[in-house]
Structure 1
Amino acid sequence: MAFDGITVAAVTHELHSILLDGRIAKIAQPEPDELLLTIKTVSGTHRLCLCASASLPLVYLTKDTKTNPLTAPNFCMLLRKHIGNGRICRISQPSLERIIEFTIEHRNELGDLCQKYLIMELMGKHSNLILCDENRVIVDSIKHVSSQTSSVREVLPQRPYFVPNTMEKQDPLSVDFDGFSRILSRKELPLGKAIYTAFTGISPVASEDICHRASLDSALPFSQLSFSEKTALYRQFDAVMHLVKTRQFTPVIYYDNGLPKEFSALSLLSFEQAYPSSSPSGISQMLRDYYAQKNTLVRIRQKSADLRQVVQTALERNRKKYHLQSRQLDDTRDRELFRIYGELIHTYGYSLSPKSHQLTALNYYTNEEVCIPLDPDRSPSENAQHYFEKYNKKKRTFETLSLLIEETKKEILYLESVSASLDLASEEEDLIQVKEELIQAGYIKRKTSRRKTSRSSSPLHYLTGDGYHIYVGKNNLQNEELTFSFAEGNDWWFHAKGVPGSHVILKSKQKEPPTSAFEDAGRLAAYYSKSRGNDKVEIDYVQRKHVKKPKGGKPGFVVYYTNYSLVIDSDISSLALLPGQT
């Protein structure tokens, strides 16, 4: 979800209600593009984070502190001079722009009351923090933008401040039906795209939701709508803008299979039925929760990079080995022909004349005539022996390669299962287990003595609508423990057929679970497998007592000789993920 004008409006409203008339007690710059203001108000002390990062610009209230550099950066020192101990007398947003203006009163060196503007621009890679004087002339900014960088606007000291209207978008808060229709009629674009490209502060997600509220296909152009459909679209557009103007914000986070998918300052009706949601207490809380979870996933992804490299390198090496072995095996497929040639020479060789170059004989296996090449310098017996030797050599090669290829296939499947485990990792403990598994398998050398971690990673725990508990292993070591230590004989074991995936255990409660519980467990097995996202995934399931561990098998590798099957999708949005331990 873009940090759009609607979200900025909600942030502005929250900051105005909490920080108005507050005094700026401290100003810190923990990062090159981030400020942390400590503001004292009647209700208490608050910390305001203003981040102008090109990748993740944010404004929110926080309780966290950050380590500051020993020497304050120049922009931080400038702010301390100009707005230190200043009073925030106004917090506003121009139109529905992604801009927040802090109007600050303070006294200069002579004791005279002055006014300054601290302007936060949340515009992706163009995000900036700008300090202006009472005449809106730039004093300085956290990022300097010269004419060489931008031909539209310079952001440098002593330059006038203005908001560039490069996209020529209209103010959505003041447009009427006629203006709305006229603006969209000029755009030969799908409705969803036309709305967010025509009006300020509306993101693609919000635009799609407005079309959904009006029960219209967002792929249709505005010109193809009837008058009643245009009216319905404007009514929903105006209703959303009314919520913004009257500050009726309802912060919400939507989840897709337990992971944060979108956030919004207003409820998204197009998401309500499709995704579960949570309702944070305020917009700052929403931003903290959403990005904290997102950042956790990014951090885990970064920390798993080395392990992924190890697994990927081993996979590529084994796939090349498998390809080479398969080609060599193809060269042995004619081995039986050499044996038959030898037998036919023994059978019909008595009729050959000396120095014969070939033997034409009836193949009694197929009742077809064949021509067998001969070495004229060899006797029939020697020619037959030559073919038998070639047969035996290829037979030995075939037998050896068959075993090697089977081992290589198992190694590839194992490494693919480890790769799937890395995709499932959601905390550092998961990565520790995967690393330990790779050490045990010999892919990583143990550098230090093995230490027991204070926290161990646990399988995922789900609860069905019927009250049945389902557990999902996140890596091969967990799969092994879940199947052979935790599950009981009458519990049900599930796994996606023919692809790497998690072991899934449905606790039976010592009775036959309902069909819906089997389907839920099947969906989990499909989702936590390489077939995730497919409409139809074949799942094998069997009672745990029929699942065996082969001698010398890799972690998580099992065999079963009788099973049931079901074909199902991988949508687990209806299942509740619990924090419980096994």
Structure 2
Amino acid sequence: MDALTLHALCRELSASLVGARVEKIHQPNARELVVTLRTKDRTERLLLSAHRQYARVHLLHGERPQNPEEPPMFCMLLRKRLESGRLVAIRQQGWDRVLELAFEAQNDIGDLVTYLLIVEMMGKHSNVILTTTDPDGRPQRIIDSIVHVTRDMSRVRQVLPGLDYQPAPPLNKRSFDQVTADDIELLELASLPAKQQKLKLSQLVAGMGPLAAAEILHRAGSLAPGAVVQAIQQVFQAVLQGAEPASLGLDALGVPQAAAPFLLTHLPAHQTMASIGAAVEALYREWMGRIHTSHMASELERVVNQHLDKLRGKRQKLLEQQEDSQDHEQLRIRGELLTAYPHLVPKGASEVTLPNFYDEDRPLTIDLHPAQSAIENAQRYFKQASKKKRALPLLEQELAQVDDDMRYLENVLVHLQDATPNQLEGLREELVKEGFLSERPLRRQRRKPSPRNKPATGQPDTFVSTDGYTILVGRNNAQNDRLTLKSSQPFDVWLHVKDMPGSHVVIRAPRNRPVPERTLHEAALLAAYFSKGRDSANVAVDYTEIRNVWKPSGSRPGHVLYKHQHTLYVTPDRPSVAAIMARQPASSTT
């Protein structure tokens, strides 16, 4: 959020919130506050964030953030000083990314005083500071802050209770209405790459960030100094006069990438918004959702990889035990020879060589226990042989189970790619059900409890082929089972990447009508993309009818066997897959 956006937001918040009463203050996490304000006709929740990367101020709508059971000390202080007070002003410190919220409230002895809650949105130096005010309403003494800045942390500016408030050092920038063509010419923009052009221009003009600079250079149409100056004036005046609606910048897939109080014409697409506050909230909802999704995915990936490491170790031990048990026949033969030739075994011997009548009487050296007789040594060999022989089928069962578990977990890793928050929750609950994850949230994460009997499988992703056929893609193992074994018809076409983890893909196919090759190819692209072979070329994808697919008894979710398959070879390049994924029906059922 640059200062130009903050300017528009400050004006918008002032118009709607000044005069509101403070009902409640919460602190959901270490660097964020939510102030609940009551106006004449509604209640609003204002977010004040000092996040290191996403510092911002905007109204909150929809889902409420979760709060700790015990409010932090700074939150308790704000409640004591500001609750029941009135918000009397919202102003920006010049063209800085600093917002001041002035509150009138009663102090400890009942006098009406003014406090300033200052939100500094300056990257890793972001902070929220409560101060007293001087007679002119300017910040005076620091009461407390959400982040304490000591001398060890900064020799330039300390932020501690009891110190006088010092504004952040001013930036040597020019006001937009003072920028001349000579200033632009000195930047030598033509000699710089595009990214440096935006940065250089934003360092010249007060209030301008790289996003506004990119829009200005786009509107200028060239790097001619006069054209750039004119574009600067146009964008700033559009914000100051409210001549353009706020907009949300979108990428090629329609995902929010930026918010601004003007039209973002330089991006692939943009969406006009009712207010800059709505645009900012929509953008940060998307960004914070990505952060949460990324964190949850990485935590699940960590858990799955831990189990895979244990299973690999267990598998290696089982293979060693299996190899060791293969000699049970040789142990039985030693017992048979000792039983047949006890008279040839010297008393107290540690070994003996006997003719092996199972191998044309070739001599065989047999280790002995000196304290045991020939028959006792024979019985010992028989017991060892019997034990190892009985162990073989058990070891084979255990190896099959380990292989099934590893195959299942490797499929989970594939499904974690690009998973949405709902899909991640489904994967988490699936791992709990299969015994790989405990019921408690990951690493102290708080989450809303889900109904006990609510299925977490969700619905497969649904796409439409160029020929109009419905293509379904399972996004977790339980969903794969449901799609393949329960909701599909015998003549539907089933696809899966060959010999590696991946999603089940199903083409809804009319009976006695062949599926077009183009649709098969598009479904194979999806099967390859949602698999471990995503970044490979010439990925083999098997396909067959659903009636040729079945589940082995007792196997983990997602594991099936199939027959009568054909194989396609595809390369899941991103543009081709994106084109298929862009074709989604308005609604789908499985």
TM range (shorter): 0.5 to 0.7
Equivalent in the alignment of 1:562 = 565
1:293 Cα offset (Å):
4.9
Q: Partners of 1:279 and 1:213 in 2: how far apart?
A: 18
Structure 2 counterpart SS, 1:73: helix
Structure 1 counterpart SS, 2:486: helix
Q: Partners of 2:543 and 2:587 in 1: how far apart?
A: 25
1:10 Cα offset (Å):
3.9
Structure 2 counterpart SS, 1:317: helix
1:565 Cα offset (Å):
1.3
Superimposed CA distance per residue, residues 481-503 of structure 1 (whole angstroms, 9 cap, x where no aligned partner)? 10121122332323334432211
Residue identity in the other structure for 1:263: A
Residue identity in the other structure for 2:509: S
Q: Partners of 2:177 and 2:480 in 1: how far apart?
A: 55
Q: Partners of 1:105 and 1:128 in 2: how far apart?
A: 21
Q: Partners of 1:7 and 1:517 in 2: how far apart?
A: 47
Residue identity in the other structure for 2:526: L
Q: Partners of 2:116 and 2:432 in 1: how far apart?
A: 56
2:448 paired with 1:457: no
2:80 paired with 1:77: yes
2:278 paired with 1:285: yes
Structure 2 counterpart SS, 1:462: strand
Structure 2 counterpart SS, 1:576: coil
1:164 Cα offset (Å):
1.4
Q: Partners of 1:493 and 1:163 in 2: how far apart?
A: 62
2:580 paired with 1:576: no
1:557 Cα offset (Å):
2.2
1:410 Cα offset (Å):
5.2
Superimposed CA distance per residue, residues 460-508 of structure 1 (whole angstroms, 9 cap, x where no aligned partner)? 3334375543322121111011012112233232333443221122223
Residue identity in the other structure for 2:473: V
Q: Partners of 1:77 and 1:576 in 2: how far apart?
A: 52
Structure 2 counterpart SS, 1:263: strand
Q: Partners of 1:5 and 1:236 in 2: how far apart?
A: 18
Q: Partners of 1:313 and 1:494 in 2: how far apart?
A: 30
Q: Partners of 2:175 and 2:425 in 1: how far apart?
A: 49
Q: Unmatched 5+ residue regions in structure 2?
A: 325-355, 366-388, 441-450
1:192 Cα offset (Å):
0.9
Equivalent in the alignment of 2:501 = 500
Q: Partners of 1:539 and 1:154 in 2: how far apart?
A: 62
| Pair 1:525–1:27, CA change in 2 (3 A) | same
Equivalent in the alignment of 1:343 = none
**122-131 or 242-251, which moves further after superposition?**
242-251
Q: What TM-score, normalized to structure 1?
A: 0.68
Residue identity in the other structure for 2:167: F
Superimposed CA distance per residue, residues 434-477 of structure 1 (whole angstroms, 9 cap, x where no aligned partner)? 5446644x646899xxx952354322333437554332212111
Equivalent in the alignment of 1:369 = none
2:159 paired with 1:163: no
2:27 paired with 1:30: yes
2:214 paired with 1:195: no
Q: Partners of 2:23 and 2:439 in 1: how far apart?
A: 48
1:132-147 maps to which residues of 2 (within 5 A)? 132-133=133-134, 134=136, 136-140=138-142, 141-143=144-146, 144-147=148-151
| Pair 1:47–1:443, CA change in 2 (3 A) | closer
1:280 Cα offset (Å):
4.9
- Are the aligned partners of 1:495 and 1:540 in contact in 2 as well (CA < 8 Å)? yes
Equivalent in the alignment of 1:251 = 247
Q: Partners of 2:541 and 2:8 in 1: how far apart?
A: 46
- Are the aligned partners of 2:9 and 2:276 in contact in 1 as well (CA < 8 Å)? yes
1:306-385 maps to which residues of 2 (within 5 A)? 308-320=301-313
Structure 1 counterpart SS, 2:86: coil
Residue identity in the other structure for 1:462: T
Superimposed CA distance per residue, residues 17-58 of structure 1 (whole angstroms, 9 cap, x where no aligned partner)? 323x43434452435644444445566443322223445423
Equivalent in the alignment of 1:374 = none
- Are the aligned partners of 1:479 and 1:502 in contact in 2 as well (CA < 8 Å)? yes
Q: Partners of 2:439 and 2:151 in 1: how far apart?
A: 55
Q: Partners of 1:294 and 1:158 in 2: how far apart?
A: 35
Q: Partners of 1:444 and 1:263 in 2: how far apart?
A: 37
- Are the aligned partners of 2:474 and 2:480 in contact in 1 as well (CA < 8 Å)? yes
Equivalent in the alignment of 1:344 = none
1:417 Cα offset (Å):
0.4
Equivalent in the alignment of 1:416 = 410
Equivalent in the alignment of 1:91 = 91
Give percent identity, aligned residues only. Answer: 26
Q: What TM-score, normalized to structure 2?
A: 0.67
1:193 Cα offset (Å):
3.1
Q: Partners of 2:508 and 2:486 in 1: how far apart?
A: 13
Q: Partners of 1:239 and 1:535 in 2: how far apart?
A: 49
Residue identity in the other structure for 1:574: A
- Are the aligned partners of 1:253 and 1:286 in contact in 2 as well (CA < 8 Å)? no
| Pair 1:192–1:211, CA change in 2 (3 A) | farther
| Pair 1:452–1:16, CA change in 2 (3 A) | closer
The structure 2 residue matched to 1:263, chosen from 258, 263, 266, is 258
Q: CA RMSD in A?
A: 5.3
Structure 1 counterpart SS, 2:506: strand
Residue identity in the other structure for 1:569: D
Q: Partners of 1:330 and 1:173 in 2: how far apart?
A: 83
Q: Partners of 1:566 and 1:269 in 2: how far apart?
A: 41
2:182 paired with 1:178: yes
Q: Partners of 1:534 and 1:209 in 2: how far apart?
A: 38
| Pair 1:490–1:268, CA change in 2 (3 A) | farther
Superimposed CA distance per residue, residues 144-189 of structure 1 (whole angstroms, 9 cap, x where no aligned partner)? 43444322223354525333136x455556423321231356x986
- Are the aligned partners of 2:19 and 2:86 in contact in 1 as well (CA < 8 Å)? no
1:535-554 maps to which residues of 2 (within 5 A)? 538-550=540-552, 553-554=555-556
Residue identity in the other structure for 1:492: V
Q: Partners of 1:509 and 1:254 in 2: how far apart?
A: 38
Q: Partners of 1:543 and 1:415 in 2: how far apart?
A: 26
1:94-105 maps to which residues of 2 (within 5 A)? 94-95=94-95, 97-102=96-101
Q: Partners of 2:106 and 2:283 in 1: how far apart?
A: 39
Residue identity in the other structure for 2:471: I
Q: Partners of 1:170 and 1:536 in 2: how far apart?
A: 56
Structure 1 counterpart SS, 2:158: coil
Residue identity in the other structure for 1:162: P
- How many residue pairs end up in the alignment? 511
Q: Partners of 1:229 and 1:514 in 2: how far apart?
A: 55
- Are the aligned partners of 1:251 and 1:286 in contact in 2 as well (CA < 8 Å)? yes
1:252 Cα offset (Å):
1.7
- Are the aligned partners of 2:82 and 2:103 in contact in 1 as well (CA < 8 Å)? no
Q: Partners of 2:34 and 2:361 in 1: how far apart?
A: 92
Q: Partners of 1:256 and 1:34 in 2: how far apart?
A: 32
- Are the aligned partners of 1:184 and 1:195 in contact in 2 as well (CA < 8 Å)? no
1:416 Cα offset (Å):
0.7
- Are the aligned partners of 2:81 and 2:106 in contact in 1 as well (CA < 8 Å)? no
1:44-83 maps to which residues of 2 (within 5 A)? 44-54=42-52, 56-63=54-61, 73-79=76-82
Residue identity in the other structure for 2:582: S
